[in-house]
Structure 1
């Protein structure tokens, strides 16, 4: 009677590899869910800060020395006030789709009392026609960042007067404005108090859409749910292995 040397079955190694895979998947899915929870907290804080800017009393816009550092996180949707006058004959129409239907945004350069030029989105118009002269000496509105290029499929074509985005630098160049004096941002003008949204009141201001998608909770629950499914699959495998061990005949180490 001879005792054979014990050997580790290949099935055990495969089972260890499977459990390592389960562990890696579980850890990765938990990490993704936790990241979405953090993103949700960041998004809620951003929404709160933007709401505070929008509803704050209008203040001074960024100074010329700060134009290069204007950013979405700190400055976009700030409620600002401009004092000066519009420059006539240099209007630009960019395509727009609003709650009032399709049409255009009317952008006009506004020279401030300090000599700077700020593009002002005076509001929505249904047709491209010469803008009525404006004697406004003061404009309030929301600071917006430039929209370079016009998008992947619809590029701006200044030579053909086709504008799909409010690209400050391109519009300033097309209108012969001094680039050094033009602010790096534009301003969405507020709606004139008491004005309705009819054609007679065009351009219609105050149509800025402020919307931040916030689906991070759904994403987090999805990742955590998948992690639970992986844990459940690992548990099922463990139960099946236990059942097989109980049903298997006892091993023998004797060789005749």
Structure 2
């Protein structure tokens, strides 16, 4: 059989197999990265809150002391939750905690309703806030656009949010407050668990590479028999 008959399909198959294997290897590396994050989260949940230092580890459980700055607040994200009065749209309440001798800190106090707002208390004077450290996000290709005028943000970038609010410099991370489920705003109950589907993705890509090789081998055998 002339080489021109099988050379093109062979090259195309080789390129697709190489691409599938490369994507599978990338997913394996992402799996290791995600498992390391999950280990950090589990370690953070097991430990007691430590005083907040200048460079805390991601997902560290910490306690910060300061005073909430009056009038500086915003909403992060948007989601619907069940409330005693039925489903309501809301988001995470962001406020600034001014700390003596340290940069101000953006605090995610928890979910509040925005479709039918209800009053909530803001502590006056010094307060201790316990929670976990969340590093700054970066806007993605499909991220919703922030509504600066309406003080609603969809990318949790503390410094960008503080700048848009005219609040000056802040720490480069957010403190996500932990608290009881009955509190309002509704604080986080535990550290977040990012989805970890990388193993199934890796198996899919490696399986695709194997399938391409099998399909090419069957095609080549049938072609050779036909000649």
Which of the numbers 71, 93, 115 marks the counterpart of 1:106?
93
Q: Report the CA distance between 1:196 and its aligned residue.
A: 4.2
Correspondence 1:32-43 to 2 at 5 A: 32-43=23-34
Change (3 A) 1:134 1:30: same
Which residue matches 1:205? 187
Change (3 A) 1:208 1:93: farther
1:85 has 2:67 as partner = yes
Give the SS at the match of 2:173. strand
Change (3 A) 1:49 1:115: closer
**Alignment partners' CA distance in 1, 2:208 and 2:105:** 50
Which of the numbers 92, 114, 120 marks the counterpart of 2:107?
120
1:219 has 2:201 as partner = yes
Q: Report the CA distance between 1:144 and its aligned residue.
A: 1.9
Which of the numbers 53, 58, 64 marks the counterpart of 1:76?
58
**Alignment partners' CA distance in 1, 2:153 and 2:75:** 9
**Alignment partners' CA distance in 2, 1:98 and 1:144:** 22
Q: Is the 8 A contact 1:121 1:189 kept in 2?
A: yes
Give the number of aligned pairs: 217
Which residue matches 1:184? 172
Q: Where do 5+ consecutive residues of structure 1 fail to align?
A: 1-8, 246-256
Q: Report the CA distance between 1:15 and its aligned residue.
A: 2.6
Q: Report the CA distance between 1:152 and its aligned residue.
A: 4.4
Moved more, 148-157 or 214-223: 148-157
Change (3 A) 1:36 1:116: closer
Which residue matches 1:232? 214
Change (3 A) 1:99 1:47: farther
Q: Report the CA distance between 1:82 and its aligned residue.
A: 0.8
Deviation digits for residues 43-77 of structure 1 (CA, Å, limit 9, x no counterpart): 222222232234322223342xx5xxx7xxxx332
TM-score by length of 2: 0.75
**Alignment partners' CA distance in 2, 1:12 and 1:94:** 61
Give the SS at the match of 1:88. strand
**Alignment partners' CA distance in 2, 1:174 and 1:25:** 46
Change (3 A) 1:177 1:233: closer
Which residue matches 1:164? 153
Q: Report the CA distance between 1:40 and its aligned residue.
A: 1.9
**Alignment partners' CA distance in 2, 1:196 and 1:188:** 14
